[in-house]
Structure 1
Amino acid sequence: MTRLIAECSGRPGPWKIAAMVLSLALGMAAGADSLANFSRFSEPERTLRLRPDDAMALTTAEDRRRALVDPTATDIPVMATIARTALRSEPLTPVALRQLAVAEVMAGRQASSDRLLDLAHRLSRRELGTSWLLINRSLDQGDAAGLARSFDEALTTSAGAAELLSPALVDGLFDEGVRGALVPYIRSDRPWMPAFLRSAAAGPDAVSNTALMILAAGGLPDTPRYADTDAYVLTGLAARRDFPLAARYLRKAVRLPAGFTTNGAVGPASLDSRAGPFGWRFKDGAEGSALAGDGNAIIVRAEADRRVPVSDRILLLAPGRYALNLRGEVPDGRAPATAEVALRCIGSSTTDLIVGPAVIGTTSGPVNLPFAVPADCPAQRVEIVATGKAIDGEGELTLSDWRIDRL
């Protein structure tokens, strides 16, 4: 965690920014769990005019004030006085103990601050400000396990904690120690983890670290709550063009056969929704659609005189010469459609691999499409575009016997 701690102690980084965002919300979060105390929380200044020593109003007003202006050394006596006044009114108030802990650490009394913070934590596991200070203490101490434990507790017990804390935790995933500390929480299927992982996978800077963390956990728990998480991760890796890690993730985390990204077939692996963009994706629109047919086939449909992209997937072919083989046939009794099959490199100067693109018509004969993958083409996108040839209504074409052969 050395790099992570250094980033926190130096120039403002993602964790410091997250701390500022959190501080702005502490005034809104404090006391929100108690409807009976709503007026003391929502209008603390008004409450203080009636009851100057009201603990909740004092601490809420102080949180809101510090959310706007960071405390300085000259503020220490004021902070301590407010916190002690609140404690005299309502002894063992967690927020007041947390605020007093801040005043103590700013005065250089770390041991006293730690005792107050631990007491606040024992009194309430739902006080978000205390959780955040515990997280920062773990950072200062290089305690990745303690950091993960505090995040887990806050995200499990505090309403609104996910919105406030998850971005900071996502930003911390670059640190291997943090990722390793979170692995047990993936394996134990903590309730906040699925949403957190989807959020992390959506960030272009965090998706690779998210994938590495899931790989370290040996994959995701086999529960419905994670049903779309693998696809989120793989979509993010594809967008980042981190194809070597995507291939490893497909093999080790999703546990799909390694060859499915190179054979072009329409089978169980390439139709598995967990594969994300590395499996066949079918569109279902008013002007055209596609779906998997029986066996190794894709059925494409398009309205008359409409040319519509209906299906695509990503392949991971090594450099070399290949041939894409398939067969096109209009089912008996159906109006005709044609299909264009294009194969293009992703993330390289080479564009079309199958020049044309190849048009597959109504013949039932086999189609052989040779192509070459250059060295600067780490991944390839197959796309099917359907065109309706009916005079009126929808045309249909079945594309079967998909196979890629190395020449």
Structure 2
Amino acid sequence: MKEKTSRQRRSPLEWSVRLILAGIAAWLGYLSVMQSVALVLPDSRIEEAYALAPNNGHIAGRLSQTLYRPNASEADRIRAVAIARDALHHDPTAVEAVATLAADAFVRGNQAEGERLLAYSQTLSRRDLRTQLMAIELAVARDDIPGALRHYDIALRTKKKAPDLLYPVLTSALTDPAIRAELVRTLGGQPNWGNGFINHAARGDADPAASAAFFRALQIARVSVPDSASVALINRLLAAKLFDDAWSYYAAARPGSERHQSRDPAFTSPIEARSAFDWTAINSIGVSTAILSDPANGLFDFTVSMGNGGLLLQQLQMLPPGEYVLEGHSTGVEQAARSRPYWVVRCQTGSEIGRVEVPNSSQTGGRFQGHVNIPADCPVQTLALIARSSNEIGGVSGQIDRILIRPTRSRAPERTAS
């Protein structure tokens, strides 16, 4: 009852004040909502964001950067500069606006003003990508490689979209030994973008020989190179027919590899990412294969269904010209002669230069051997296991637990037949 009486006694002035305060609160709430909406709008809708919050310095700064692009018209540049100055009037910490004014100063040839604004922008924030790009350009113009890479590092650490823009530029610069050396030092600090860049350099469009030199320098500096990146680079070198470069890098990545013989004869190496220089198992319709690596009892297992055949296993070679022995050991191979698998050595051109049949494993204790002559005009070869088609219901199956091609003048330790 008292509350009702109190409401009746309020004067018109009190009601007016209350209405005004409610209106102000509603207006402030509306402005807050508009600010929040404007802040989350992407750069593709920055004009809408600016219309919703024209007094927000950071939104205005973002608009100024969008307008002040390399191919912008003079009218857009004039508008961008005006918006940037207005943004700083509302918020002196609007780093995007400072970056726009710095870019404009450099375009107008006012180097001192550009550098002053760039330094101020760096003081405000290291997260503005345009600021770091200008700092990179300034360092490059001064031939300051460490300085340029320092700003690359900052940009790549702080901006998710920076790799798309900067990785291609960095990989194209790997042809410069000085840049390679400084980049190796940078990656020695284990930045969060290191592996991403290494993988890009392995697979990108840059000169694969320069990427190989870079990777070798990383290995010397004890900076880890993922196996998948090494394999991708080796395969790119091979695709570019840079065979010597590919072998040099492979030999450095796989210590103990020898060019004059095949590798991993007993399938002991637990390799996850395999290059063409490693044993590669081939699976296809009706063909199931697997390399079962083990330090003591590694083997290659294959099963080929009836009526199927083809490539089972292969390894790229770069054997020097001369006489070679191809030798190995099988288990589980029991087929008529017309259906037994065989080893073949082919030149890169596709011509066959040697073939060794795999006898039934019950014969000669499963051992097989043959001779191959590598001619001088065949610097790159492929050693492959081929399955013949079988009419037997069970198809063809078996295991190879040793395979090696070596010069006839050397002897390799034999593996006891099981």
TM more than 0.5: yes
Unaligned 5+ runs, structure 2 = 1-35, 409-418
Q: After superposing the two structures, state which structure 1 stretch, 295-304 or 160-169, moved more.
A: 295-304
Percent identity over the alignment? Answer: 22
Give the superposition deviation at 1:222.
Answer: 7.5
Distance 1:385 1:350, change over 3 A: closer
Aligned twin of 2:178: 177
Q: How does 1:336-347 map to 2 (within 5 A)?
A: 338-346=340-348
- By how many angstroms is 1:191 displaced? 2.0
Question: By how many angstroms is 1:119 displaced?
Answer: 1.8
- Please tell me the root mean square deviation across aligned C-alpha atoms, in Å: 3.2
Q: Deviations over 1:191-217 (max 9, x none)?
A: 212122222211353322122112112
Q: Deviations over 1:89-121 (max 9, x none)?
A: 211211111110111111111121112112212
Shift of 1:400: 4.1
Q: 1:260 to 1:395 in 2, by over 3 A?
A: same
Considering Cα pairs closer than 8 Å and 6+ residues apart, tell me whether 1 or 2 has the greater RCO: 1
1:360-387 per-residue CA deviation (whole Å, 9 max, x = no partner) reads 3425344333223233433222222224
Cα distance between partner residues in 2 of 1:40 and 1:226: 35
Once residues 45 and 240 of structure 2 are traced to their aligned partners in structure 1, the CA distance between those partners, rounded to angstroms, is 47
1:14 aligned residue:
none
Q: SS of the counterpart of 1:368?
A: strand
Of 226-235 and 288-297, the range deviating more from structure 2 = 288-297
Q: Secondary structure at the match of 1:213?
A: helix
User: Partner residue of 2:197?
Assistant: 196
Q: Residue by residue, what CA displacement relative to the aligned partner does 1:298-330 show, whole Å, maximum 9, x if unpaired?
A: 332211111132221111211222222224442
Specify the alignment match of 1:308 in structure 2: 310
> Do the aligned partners of residues 198 and 377 (structure 1) sit closer, same or farther apart at CA in structure 2, a change above 3 Å counting?
farther
Task: Report the equivalent of 1:205.
Answer: 206
In structure 2, the partner of 1:282 is 281
State the partner residue of 1:403. 404
Where 1:190 maps in the other structure, the secondary structure is coil
The 1-side partners of 2:226 and 2:407 are apart by 36
**Residue identity opposite 2:60 in structure 1:** L
What letter matches 1:65 in structure 2?
A: L
Measured against aligned partners, the alpha-carbon deviations of 1:214-239 in whole angstroms (never above 9, x if no partner) come to 2112358686x824222222222222
The secondary structure found in structure 2 opposite 1:277 is: coil
Return the offset for 1:55. 2.6
Cα deviation digits, residues 105-157 of structure 1 (max 9, x gap): 11111121112112212222211111211222222111221222222211111
Aligned partners of 1:397, 1:287: CA distance in 2, in Å?
15
Q: Which residue of 2 aligns with 1:130?
A: 131
Counterparts in 2 of 1:245-260, with a 5 A limit? 245-252=245-252, 254-259=253-258
1:147 aligns to 2:145 (yes or no): no
**Closer/same/farther in 2, CA of residues 368 and 103 from structure 1, 3 Å limit:** same
C-alpha separation in 1, matches of 2:48 and 2:37: 17
Q: Structure 1 residue 296: deviation in Å?
A: 6.7
8 Å contact from structure 2 (residues 302, 397) kept in 1:
yes
TM-score of the pair, normalised by structure 2: 0.76
AA of the residue aligned to 1:312: Q
**Residue of structure 2 in register with 1:97 after alignment:** 98
Residue 44 and residue 343 in structure 1: after superposition, are their counterparts in 2 closer, same or farther (change >3 A)? same
Q: Give the structure 2 partner of residue 9 of structure 1.
A: none
- Between structure 1 and structure 2, the one with the greater Rg is 2
Greater alpha carbon shift after TM alignment, 383-392 vs 192-201: 383-392
Shift in Å, 1:271: 5.4
Instruction: Give the counterpart letter for 2:353 in structure 1.
Output: L
